[in-house]
């Protein structure tokens, strides 16, 4: 006998969105869904004034959040829509610009603080009758149940479930417990994340500069149009040099790296350095178990796709499980789990490969490679149909001229 039907470990953006997407499917109404999160409720609900970890949400991700009732006017007010995106190669004259008008969309996406999203998801979880949220609670052990499913220990308590979902982040204890191997790539970079105050208005434009030591992104934030969240990925040696600087000197380096595009900049939050890595689980599913989001794949943040890939996992798995339930099958139906894996692996793998290719391409300072890169960017800029296709793919949409 199971204590719940689905046990989700991790109430980060992906685990929370998955639980809501499944719980709101009509066929899943009788399910008992338990979500277990290690962090206390107060941390989940906390929204910092200047939030450095900003997510570039694709239109597909926003639509999922709308469907699960999380994209409320309050959350939308915290999100900054961006209509244009400018990309420069600092070591050549290469430049590409994207405009949402070219694909007949009101915006290319939204920039939103990760904590603001987690807080909105947590509020929606609490309002959902067939979801119970347990936090803070940590999984301490997992065992296979004789009749199928798993038993999960939360301290002294044993909770038996038909289906176990690992949405427990990049270090996924569940993935480790089941011995699922990962293909790893170390970009040998660290990322600086911070909020900057800028002299000029960001104009709802996301900007990115590629340099040989790593890319710098300026992501526009909602509010006074003079704040951007930055992600500055830097090779280890360059990162170590920057870590020695005081805030004023760091801001001066950022102004140079951004070619003064937004004028003088000052730090509006503590600068935080995070190690970067990329990995991909060899399998997303085992009998009665599925991995989602960063537990299954971690992608370099240069394209800002981590959460988008994870939310797409959540959407597809919830849809496959709901379809199995509608057909009178079990919520842990192996064919539904296999279909989830088949639908999600190719897109996730393609994104990971693209990020690795970008790092290699832009990290190469040899003149022939740099010239090819500049020529490629210029040609791409002139090839409208290809550009539109890339923009639509990044938005998670099909593009029709
Ligand atoms: C510098 C940087 C910039 C980024 N920028 C972007 C961006 O612009 N756009 C984008 O889409 N993505 C971005 N990402 C990636 C994004 O932050 C992640 O993809 C996203 O957080 C993954 O969500 P998740 O829910 O899978 O995992 P997480 O957010 O890691 O959530 C996992 C949850 O599981 C809980 N947990 C873990 N172990 C246990 C346990 N044993 N018991 C109970 N609970 C547990 C944790 O407390 C946590 O709440 C960036 C990442 C970095 C490092």
DSSP string covering 142-172, please? EEE-TTSSEEEEETTEEEEEEEEEE---TT-
| 37 within ligand 1 shell (Cβ under 6 A) | yes
DSSP 219-266: EE-SSSS-EEEEEEEEEHHHHHHHHTS-HHHHHHHHHHHTTTTT-SEE
Residues 130-172: tens digit of each pLDDT: 999 999 999 999 999 888 899 999 999 999 999 999 999 999 9
**How is the chain split into domains, by residue range?**
4-58+114-186+277-361, 189-276
Q: Is 173 in the pocket of ligand 1 (CB under 6 A)?
A: yes
Query: Could you read off the pLDDT of 226-270 as tens digits, one per residue?
Result: 999 999 999 999 999 999 999 999 999 999 999 999 999 999 999
Phi, psi of 146 (to 5 degrees): -60, -45
216 against 90, higher pLDDT: 216
Q: Which of 21, 36, 38, 165 to mutate to test the pocket of ligand 1 (most atoms within 8 A of CB)?
A: 38
Identify whether the C-beta of residue 258 lies closer than 8 Å to the C-beta of residue 218.
yes
- Specify the ligand 1 atom closest to the Cα of 298: 19
CATH number of 189-276: 3.30.9.10
Q: Does the beta carbon of 89 sit less than 6 angstroms from any atom of ligand 1?
A: no
Q: Quick check: 314 and 17 in contact, CB under 8 A?
A: yes
Buried b (16+ CB within 10 A) or exposed e, 148-180: ebbbbebeeeebbbbbbbbbbbbebbbbebbeb
Residue that the structure tokens 């970009």 belong to: 187
**In angstroms, what CA-CA distances link 143 with 23, 154, 178, 259, 272?**
25, 12, 10, 55, 37
Per-residue pLDDT for 376 more than 80? no
Pocket of ligand 1 contains residue 217 by CB under 6 Å: no
Whether the CB of 377 sits within 6 Å of ligand 1: no
| Dihedral in degrees, nearest 10, Cα atoms 125, 126, 129, 135 | 90
Q: β-strands 205-211, 84-89: how paired?
A: parallel
Tokens of 319: 């849809």
Q: Per residue in 99-119, pLDDT tens?
A: 999 888 899 999 999 999 999
Pocket test for ligand 1, best of 120, 161, 168, 216 (most atoms within 8 A of CB): 168
Kindly tell me if the per-residue pLDDT of 366 is higher than 60: no
Q: Residue whose CA is closest, atom 35 of ligand 1?
A: 10
Q: Quick one: CATH architecture of 4-58+114-186+277-361?
A: 3-Layer(bba) Sandwich (3.50)
Tell me which of 9-23, 244-258, 347-361 is least confident.
347-361
> Among candidates 25, 27, 31, which has minimal Cα distance to 6?
31
Q: What is the pLDDT at residue 359?
A: 62
The DSSP secondary structure of 81-116, one letter per residue, reads EE-EEEEEETTSS-EEEEEGGGGT-S-SEEEEEHHH
pLDDT value, residue 109: 93
Q: Ligand 1 within 6 A of 301 CB?
A: yes
Indicate the pLDDT class of residue 313, thresholds 50, 70 and 90.
Answer: very high
- Find the mean pLDDT for residues 325-354: 94
**Tokens in use for 256?**
């140079």
Give the pTM.
0.92
333 Cα: distance to centroid of ligand 1 (angstroms): 27
Residue for token digits 């290319």? Answer: 108
Alpha carbon distance 246, 399 (integer Å) = 46
Q: Rounded to the nearest 5 degrees, what angle is found at the Cα of 73, between the Cα atoms of 307 and 318?
A: 40
The pLDDT of residue 139 is 92
Residue 10 CA, closest ligand 1 atom number: 34
| CA 11 / ligand 1 centre spacing (Å) | 9
CB atoms near residue 8 (< 10 Å) = 30
């Amino acid at each position: 006998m199971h204590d719940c039907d689905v046990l989700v470990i991790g109430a980060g953006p992906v685990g929370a969105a998955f639980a809501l997407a499944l719980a709101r499917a009509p066929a899943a109404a009788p399910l008992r869904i338990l979500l277990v999160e290690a962090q206390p409720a107060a941390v989940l609900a906390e929204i910092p004034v200047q939030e450095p970890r900003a997510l570039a949400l694709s239109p597909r991700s926003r639509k999922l959040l709308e469907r699960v009732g999380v994209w409320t006017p309050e959350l939308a007010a915290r999100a900054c829509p961006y209509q244009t995106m400018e990309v420069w190669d600092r070591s050549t004259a290469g430049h590409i610009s994207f405009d949402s008008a070219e694909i007949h969309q009101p915006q290319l996406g939204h920039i939103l603080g990760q904590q603001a999203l987690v807080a909105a998801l947590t509020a929606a979880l609490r309002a959902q009758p067939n979801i119970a949220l347990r936090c803070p609670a940590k999984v301490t052990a997992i065992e296979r149940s004789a009749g199928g499913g798993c038993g999960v220990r939360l301290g002294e308590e044993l909770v038996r479930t038909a289906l176990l979902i690992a949405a427990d982040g990049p270090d996924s204890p569940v993935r480790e417990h089941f011995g699922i191997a990962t293909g790893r790539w170390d970009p040998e970079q660290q990322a600086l994340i911070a909020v900057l105050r800028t002299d000029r208005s960001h104009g709802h434009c996301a900007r990115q500069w590629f340099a040989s030591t790593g890319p710098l992104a300026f992501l526009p934030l909602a509010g006074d149009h003079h704040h951007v969240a930055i992600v500055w990925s830097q090779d280890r040696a360059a990162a170590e040099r920057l870590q020695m600087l005081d805030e004023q000197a760091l801001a001066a380096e950022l102004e140079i790296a951004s070619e003064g595009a937004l004028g003088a900049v000052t730090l509006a939050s503590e600068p935080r350095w995070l190690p970067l890595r990329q990995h991909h689980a060899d399998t997303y599913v085992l009998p009665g178990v599925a991995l989602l989001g960063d537990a299954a794949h971690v992608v370099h943040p240069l394209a800002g796709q981590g959460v988008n890939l994870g939310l797409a996992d959540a959407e597809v798995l919830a849809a496959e499980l709901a379809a199995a339930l509608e057909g009178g099958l079990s919520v842990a139906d192996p064919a539904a789990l296999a279909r989830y894996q088949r639908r999600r692996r190719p897109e996730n793998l393609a994104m990971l490969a693209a990020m690795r290719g970008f790092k290699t391409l832009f990290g190469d300072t040899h003149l022939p490679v740099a010239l090819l890169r500049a020529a490629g960017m210029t040609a791409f800029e002139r090839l409208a149909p290809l550009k539109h296709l890339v923009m639509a793919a990044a938005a998670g949409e099909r593009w029709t001229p």
